[in-house]
Structure 1
């Protein structure tokens, strides 16, 4: 093979990798398509799956697939293997190396996916890409953008048929604010209300309260701790501004209760 032939082959392998990656991404993500009756964020969930699949599939196909296929084609050219025999042997070797990728990762799933991707890669290289590269530039560009447009169409259809996003309620704001462990908030009620305790001789009242703000679906969640023991009393308060998916400290007042400082 001349240098010109090698360059053309490498360009072809990259194009094959592009289309094979898209076929794998759209095929594997297909079970996650939820049209109608799904969650309000079904489109976002679908795109997340597409991203995860692409993160694994695309680099593997572009690097491993292109390298293996190029080496097999160069070997066939040097051995001067042509005709139906070359197609059969090359196809079987593509599949074998595809399965071997899963053996390297010690995963039967990746072996199966590697074999399927190898079949697609080989078929795409022999039929589709050779046809596409012979087309006019405009038609070629349409072919390259088709997978992207198809993905946008699928995601758009999922979004349109999904129910509207529900409002972010005060109850959800409290649940979001009290989620997690290892913080001062842990000792307060997980829902709006009060609890009364006896700690170190102190009468303790801990309260979780929700306050609406002038911004839509944004709340102030107020955590207040009051204590009293004879003449010793006080109050400690923390305020957090909570909206969908975010939370930030807005202020507070008082000092830590004495029965906690002594621990």
Structure 2
């Protein structure tokens, strides 16, 4: 079953004094590109968090956001009283004013708050890991649901291509007869004597150049292979992309050999269906 690279997952955990929220968003990308926005206090754990994401999501442009909201009395920041008093004294010497106003101005100055860097609490970090696992589970489910939609679209496009291929098969004898008649008429208009046997040999050689039997067989095989790969248990986006390229080559060759307007119209329709497949392929994991 294929998966989309587009997805979203979110999970929230409430601790006694903190609320931890993890959000993961992903879009399509050729490789895995993780952008992590986490508080400075948790930077030492970033590599571990990235590895957990890489093991699950594999590919795509991924945005990880970790938010920690203090909901209790806990705070790691304290007022640097000595610095604030010094600022107030200097401001008073410059402009005077009441203490409340001076304190308001002083607190806007640099280094008025000091923070103590503490080790990450084990229980808190385990809560973060739990939230991340849940968010990854949600985004994986989202990707699978999107993959089902893509799968149905691909099957619809494949059905249309198979119908068009059958029309090409049915039209091929008529095409060759038309090309043959066109050549015979062109030679007749020259009003010159030609050796019938030699002309027939040249005609057969010329018609062989426009034969599309191999292309029809290969195109049929590629369409079946695409569907088989699509229905496999793994999401093989890159493999499906390669098969789509091979399908395109056979369609292009049929178009270049057709030399027959009605068949070239079918080829245009086939190219249109394939282009829609390729557009959607950009989102497949």
The answer to whether the superposition gives a TM-score over 0.5 is no
TM-score normalized by the length of structure 2:
0.27
Which structure is richer in relative contact order (CA contacts within 8 A, separation 6 or more)? 2
Which of the pair is proportionally richer in helix? 2
Which of the pair is proportionally richer in strand? 1
TM-score normalized by the length of structure 1:
0.28
Larger radius of gyration: 2
